Amino acid sequence: MLNKFKPDIEIDSVYHIDFDSLFDEGIRGIIFDIDNTLVAHDAPRTDESDALIKKLYDKGFKVFFVSNNDEDRVKTMLLNVNVDYIHKAGKPKAANYYRAFEIMGLDKSQVVAVGDQLFTDCLGAKNAGIKFIKVGIVDKKEPPHIVLKRILEKPVEILTKI
């Protein structure tokens, strides 16, 4: 049961992931969460997030956003990049991960998910049968419901490391 909350890789920042190694392993699709993964919670896109996405496209990756946010929020990330997305995704349900694989034209063995939360991002990826990379948060300032989730995630995170 706890394996569904155990990331395959943990790293301090999305901007420090070794995407070259992932590509060498046969990964061709990256599914990103947005808030506190690529940018601060409810913040617009940044030059840094745009540059990362462009770098991934140039490398040959397909990039996809799977977000529980509404469409207007997701669209704030799309000003300078063209990324397919699913909003109000219902994570941790696997259904919209499967839709993302289909839209990208990739098998789930070729896709990895990246996010900052265990109960939505990690569990969603694991429910869909794909690898998950947990990244450190971009900004400590978060809405109260996310702070509560972090408190509840902490004991689960500790137990997955035992």
Instruction: Identify any residues that bridge with 86 across adjacent strands, giving them in sequence order.
Output: 66
Q: Tell me the pLDDT of the chain (162 aa) as tens digits.
A: 788 999 999 999 999 999 999 999 999 999 999 999 999 998 989 999 999 999 999 999 999 999 999 999 999 999 899 999 999 999 999 999 999 999 999 999 999 999 999 999 999 999 999 999 999 999 888 888 888 888 989 888 889 887
Q: What strands lie across the sheet with 62-66, from one edge to the other?
A: 9-11, 131-135, 111-115, 29-32, 62-66, 84-86
Q: How many CA atoms lie within 13 A of 55 on its CB side?
A: 14
Nearest to 134 by CA among 119, 111, 116, 152: 116
Q: Taking every pair of C-alpha atoms in the chain, what is the biggest distance, in angstroms?
A: 43
Q: What does the domain layout of the chain look like in residue ranges?
A: 2-160
* Residue-level pLDDT at 145: 85
The pTM score is: 0.94
2-160 CATH pick, 3.90.1150.10, 3.40.50.1000, 1.10.1060.10, 3.40.50.920: 3.40.50.1000
